[in-house]
Structure formats: structure tokens, C-alpha cells
Structure 1
Amino acid sequence: MNSSPVQQALRVFLVEDSIPVRQRMAALLGAIDGVEIIGEAEEPGAALAGIDATGADVVVMDLRLIGGTSMELLQSLARRISRVTIIVLTNHSGTWFRQACIAAGAQYFFDKTSEFDLACRTITRIAHERCVRGLNDSTR
């Protein structure tokens, strides 16, 4: 009998307007040990509903979305009592965008074209920290 606790995966919700990009992100991020892609959306309303319904731990979002602005979504997520880790992963990587997203509540900001591997490493670290924290909590 295995008495070690089963660790829950880091639940990641993807918000990206491009279906092929979203599928690639889901495949790459979902392959990270300890990560589960629990939902996807291409517009802010569906994203908010999906994030609420799934209890996501992390939201990976683009700045360009269908039917609304991602800044409104970002601000809505940042104001919530039940906080999620917000990672902006976008092609709009200028200094102004980076500063605006961090000021609005994003914890991380990455350029899709040059920092995708760094984003993956960050999600891996977050999943690992969650696992270690869970193990520490279960031994108390």
C-alpha cells in the first residue's frame, strides 16, 4: 500500500486567440511534469467563465484576444480574492506592454518568440514548488 499523498497537478488555463498557437502551447505546456491544461479560451468572457469553473492555478494569456481586451481580463483576474498566477505570453513585448501588464497584476511577462523556453521553465518551477509545498504540508 502506497501511503504517499497524491499531488494535484498545477492547473493551467490558456487564453489565446490563435487556435494553432493555443494547440501548440497546450501540447508543450501539458507535457511538463506536474502540469495539466484544464481549459482554453480565445475571448475574455469565456476565459473568465472557464477560469472560474475550473479553479485554475495559473492563467497563460496573450494580449490579443477576440471580442475584448486582455487588459480588462488581466485586471479582473488580479482583483479576485482567489488569486491565480497570471503569465502574459505575447508577441507584443515592448517595454510599455511589459510595464502595463505587470502594473495591472501579471506576475510574469514573456515574449512568445524569444522567451517561450523561459516561460516553460517558469511554469516548471511553479509546478515543482507546488509539489514540494504539498509534500511539506502532508508531513506535518
Structure 2
Amino acid sequence: MSILIVDDSAVVRGMLREMLAKIEGAEVVGEFESPAPAIESIRNHPPDVVLLDIQLVNGSGLEVLRAVSTEHPGVKVMVFTNFAEPVYRRRCLEAGAYAFYDKKSDLHALRQALQGLASF
């Protein structure tokens, strides 16, 4: 299962990379902190999963989510963000997110979901 990480925080990207290294079958194929290069990478080499934050450098994760949902509906976008208010959750799910997780409380749930996807 190929995974692309899109998050403005190098610390969070590193933590996600470490977590994913422990999931059999999961492979991180790229990391980005801003929307434009992430979208270009996804267009050229669509991953199985995108782990996406809403707040990015020079833009919003919603840009990435909308592009992926339109151009590659088979790619599962899992939003992992500190902006976990219901309005953001609803916007992301309506825009095509596969799942939505709060960075403050849902890391375990995210890990379980990824392990489940990797086992298929």
C-alpha cells in the first residue's frame, strides 16, 4: 500500500513515517508540505492513500482533497488534522475524504484503519 504524507509539520511527517514503518505492507512514497507539489505528485503517480492535513504551507489541504477526489477517486484520502471541528469534518467528507481524524485524539484509530487497509 503506497502512502503519500501531506502535512506542514516536519515533526508530524516524521511521526507518521515511523508509525507507517511498523505496518506491514505500508510504504511511504513521498512527503509534501504544500498543495501544488503534492497534487503534481499524485497526478503523476497516484498512491493508494494520502494522509492529509488541512493547514499546509502556501495553501490548504482542501485543494489537495478536491483535486484527488476529482482526478483519482480511487485514492483514499485520510484527513489527519488539528482542525477537527464539525464544520471541517463535514467539508472534508463532503469533498470526498475517505476518513477524518483529529491529531489530538485519533492517532490510534488512524493506525488501526491503515493496518486494516494494508492487510487487503
- TM-score range (shorter-chain normalised) is over 0.9
Query: TM-score, normalising length from structure 2?
Result: 0.94
Q: Which of 70, 79, 86 matches 2:77?
A: 86
Match of 1:42 in 2: 33
Match of 2:114 in 1: 123
Residue type at the aligned position of 1:92:
F
- Count residues with an aligned counterpart: 120
Question: Residues 78-127 of structure 1, C-alpha deviation per residue, up to 9 Å, x if partnerless?
Answer: 00146300000001111111111000010100001100110010011011
Residue type at the aligned position of 2:53:
D
Q: Check whether the contact 1:34–1:127 (CA below 8 A) recurs between aligned residues.
A: yes
Indicate the structure with greater helix content.
1
Query: TM-score, normalising length from structure 1?
Result: 0.81
Match of 1:74 in 2: 65
**Aligned mates of 2:56, 2:72 — CA distance in 1:** 24
Match of 1:114 in 2: 105
Q: Which runs of 5+ in 2 are unaligned?
A: none
Q: Check whether the contact 2:93–2:100 (CA below 8 A) recurs between aligned residues.
A: yes
Match of 2:43 in 1: 52
Compute the RMSD of aligned alpha carbons: 1.2
**Aligned mates of 2:41, 2:96 — CA distance in 1:** 19
**Aligned mates of 1:111, 1:119 — CA distance in 2:** 9
Q: Check whether the contact 2:46–2:72 (CA below 8 A) recurs between aligned residues.
A: no
User: What displacement does 1:19 show?
Assistant: 0.7
Residue type at the aligned position of 1:11:
S
Indicate the structure with greater strand content.
2
**Deviation above 4 Å: which 4+ runs of structure 1?**
none
User: What displacement does 1:20 show?
Assistant: 1.2
CA shift in 2, pair 1:46/1:121, >3 Å? same
Q: Which runs of 5+ in 1 are unaligned?
A: 1-9, 130-140
Match of 2:2 in 1: 11
**Structure with larger Rg:** 1
